[in-house]
Chains A and B, each alone.
Chain A
């Protein structure tokens, strides 16, 4: 769950983490397991530098099935962004989020589980 640094092109991913909440863009209770009672999970990513305005994707998978592909915009000189999902009863199980740049390169993969 520690910081993940992957460079792809010009942007550099300096942090990618799953957390229960954000307080002023600071991840709260980073974890790999979410109780379904918590109702949501947040994928937080931080990039430095961001030379120019670009886009990235957070692609959410429940097991190997895509659940959501969320488009996010990054702006110079550095940028933090996040996406989240709301839990449903059928979402229990292993998940992963792939951080993908505008060229389709996978910058990082974060794995977590939704449990009872």
Chain B
């Protein structure tokens, strides 16, 4: 328990953002892809991955290899086989939905279609009669119905009751989302207390309502009003909301809809909680697992150097970092993830000691710095100047013993060099590269490159990078003492 409390207390704000962000991404992934085949396969692949981890931990070598192969192959299969499905999901939704929206599949219910159709026919004074059976069977009561078996839609209902349609007389019977019969003849009510303006359609509606528990909606051709007949009673419906309520009560969808809504919310909340728990578990297992130590040699990067200055010398080009973290994180570190940066913006000409602090080092999240060697790096800076230096030939090799090198001239005799002031103040000569003596003839001309040492030196624009050397030899006077 103490361990759990310690782990929770050691969480940084970055860790909480980290977990929240990945949990949300996982949750959004579920919202976007649930119900698709790709999602089902992905769940299977995840289970296989867990199975592989268990196999590895148990030392089942071949099993873990096989499962790993399947998982690796599965990743390609998901992308290749389900590419159209993935594309459809992503293209069919706008950016806002991908990041935020809920499942907004608009299902126009049977009730909405019936309401829309009835009100439309009422506006057009199109006579109609729709029967919505209850629990009782209507076969005994209804006669001459024509089987229809069509999926309900507003257009279909309007066309059935269109005055020129041969089946527009009689009633259409709707069960669930199907129009099962049209042109059905209903029994007529024998009541004599009905208003005089009710005709055969209303009498038929009431007749069925007296004989069964069905709900009958009748649209008057003359007045365009809507009447609902149920339980031997007839009610004129003037409000859309009232019509919806009557239909919902009859079809029992109000409670069903509410239950579905609660179920949907529970599913979403469960998915969200699962995402958080899953990601938190993965996060803790990766970042707070068994601690490991590692020592890495990292190059030092010098930043914000004054362009007028140059680095002449550093006491160390790399530093040794002692790092601590979970084994998984330590093993996954790549050298380019760690940087040691020294800010030279406030440094001066001459030696500048820099203490390497935690702020100088960028580490991957979850990695802790335990030590730095060396803790201080000396950086020697200098300003750039130009200096004209005489050129001297750096002869190597050996002349034949009987020859002496006498006349040697260099063109140009001097070159202009750009480099650090303190460096150039110490230099009084710029040397050529190695010029071999072995191949020299009696006299001749050769060219030689200049050797810039240290490499930070540069030849000033306008000065030549090569010099031409003319020389002459003569026979040695053998009277000299050797």
Partners in one complex: yes
Interface flag for A93 (CB, 8 Å):
yes
A44 to chain B, nearest CB (A): 13
Q: Does the CB pair A94–B431 fall under 8 Å?
A: yes
Q: Which residue of A lies closest to B482 (CB)?
A: A38
Interface flag for B426 (CB, 8 Å):
yes
Residues of A within 8 A of B427 (CB): 64
A51 to chain B, nearest CB (A): 30
Q: Does the CB pair A116–B480 fall under 8 Å?
A: no
Interface flag for A115 (CB, 8 Å):
yes
A29 to chain B, nearest CB (A): 5
Interface size on A, residues (CB 8 A): 25
Residues of B within 8 A of A64 (CB): 426-429
Q: Does the CB pair A29–B398 fall under 8 Å?
A: no
The distance in angstroms between the C-alpha atoms of A30 and B408, with both chains bound, is: 12
The distance in angstroms between the C-alpha atoms of A111 and B397, with both chains bound, is: 17
Residues of A within 8 A of B480 (CB): 20-21, 23, 28-29
Which A1-51 residues have a C-beta within 8 angstroms of B? 1-2, 20-21, 23, 28-33, 35, 38-39
Task: Please tell me which one of the listed residues B394, B397, B479 contacts residue A23 in the complex, with CB atoms under 8 A apart.
Answer: B479
Residues of A within 8 A of B393 (CB): 32, 94, 111, 113
Residues of B within 8 A of A38 (CB): 482
Would A21 and B481 be within 8 Å (CB), given that A33-B405, A115-B437 are in contact?
Answer: yes
Interface flag for B392 (CB, 8 Å):
yes
Would A115 and B482 be within 8 Å (CB), given that A30-B406, A33-B437, A94-B431 are in contact?
Answer: no
Max count, chain B CB within 10 A of own CB: residue among A30, A93, A115:
A115
| Interface bits B367-401 vs A (CB < 8 Å: 1, else 0) | 00000000000000000000000101111111101
Task: Please tell me which one of the listed residues B392, B408, B476 contacts residue A96 in the complex, with CB atoms under 8 A apart.
Answer: B392
Residues of A within 8 A of B392 (CB): 94, 96, 111
A100 to chain B, nearest CB (A): 13
Max count, chain B CB within 10 A of own CB: residue among A1, A39, A94:
A94
A2 to chain B, nearest CB (A): 8
Task: Please tell me which one of the listed residues B396, B407, B426, B431 contacts residue A116 in the complex, with CB atoms under 8 A apart.
Answer: B396
Interface flag for B404 (CB, 8 Å):
yes
B450 to chain A, nearest CB (A): 13
The distance in angstroms between the C-alpha atoms of A74 and B406, with both chains bound, is: 27
Q: Does the CB pair A1–B407 fall under 8 Å?
A: yes
A65 to chain B, nearest CB (A): 10
The distance in angstroms between the C-alpha atoms of A96 and B430, with both chains bound, is: 12
Q: Does the CB pair A109–B390 fall under 8 Å?
A: yes
Q: Which residue of A lies closest to B399 (CB)?
A: A33
Q: Which residue of A lies closest to B471 (CB)?
A: A32
Interface residues of B toward A: which range? 20 to 34
A23 to chain B, nearest CB (A): 7
B417 to chain A, nearest CB (A): 13
Q: Does the CB pair B397–A32 fall under 8 Å?
A: no
| Interface bits B195-208 vs A (CB < 8 Å: 1, else 0) | 00000000000000
| Interface bits A78-116 vs B (CB < 8 Å: 1, else 0) | 000000000000000110100000000000010101011
Q: Which residue of B lies closest to A98 (CB)?
A: B428
Residues of B within 8 A of A94 (CB): 392-395, 429, 431
Q: Does the CB pair A93–B394 fall under 8 Å?
A: yes
The distance in angstroms between the C-alpha atoms of A33 and B399, with both chains bound, is: 9
The distance in angstroms between the C-alpha atoms of A35 and B407, with both chains bound, is: 17
The distance in angstroms between the C-alpha atoms of A39 and B406, with both chains bound, is: 19
Interface flag for B336 (CB, 8 Å):
no
The distance in angstroms between the C-alpha atoms of A94 and B429, with both chains bound, is: 10
The distance in angstroms between the C-alpha atoms of A39 and B482, with both chains bound, is: 8
| Interface bits B418-430 vs A (CB < 8 Å: 1, else 0) | 0000000011110
Q: Does the CB pair B428–A113 fall under 8 Å?
A: no
A39 to chain B, nearest CB (A): 8
The distance in angstroms between the C-alpha atoms of A39 and B481, with both chains bound, is: 10
Residues of A within 8 A of B476 (CB): 29
B207 to chain A, nearest CB (A): 124
Q: Does the CB pair A96–B405 fall under 8 Å?
A: no
Q: Does the CB pair A31–B394 fall under 8 Å?
A: no
The distance in angstroms between the C-alpha atoms of A89 and B455, with both chains bound, is: 27
The distance in angstroms between the C-alpha atoms of A32 and B477, with both chains bound, is: 15
Max count, chain B CB within 10 A of own CB: residue among A21, A33, A93:
A33
Residues of A within 8 A of B406 (CB): 1, 30-32
Residues of A within 8 A of B394 (CB): 93-94, 113
Q: Does the CB pair B395–A33 fall under 8 Å?
A: yes
| Interface bits B433-463 vs A (CB < 8 Å: 1, else 0) | 0000100000000000000000000000000
Residues of A within 8 A of B399 (CB): 33, 35, 115
The distance in angstroms between the C-alpha atoms of A93 and B393, with both chains bound, is: 10
The distance in angstroms between the C-alpha atoms of A31 and B395, with both chains bound, is: 12
Q: Does the CB pair B429–A32 fall under 8 Å?
A: no
The distance in angstroms between the C-alpha atoms of A30 and B404, with both chains bound, is: 8
The distance in angstroms between the C-alpha atoms of A5 and B440, with both chains bound, is: 30
10 contacts between A and B (CB under 8 A): A1-B408, A31-B404, A32-B393, A32-B408, A64-B426, A93-B394, A94-B429, A115-B399, A116-B396, A116-B398
B residues sitting closer than 8 Å to A (CB atoms) are 390, 392-399, 401, 404-408, 426-429, 431, 437, 476-477, 479-482
Top 10 nearest A-B pairs (CB, nearest first) are A21-B480, A113-B395, A33-B405, A31-B404, A28-B480, A111-B392, A29-B404, A116-B398, A94-B394, A20-B480
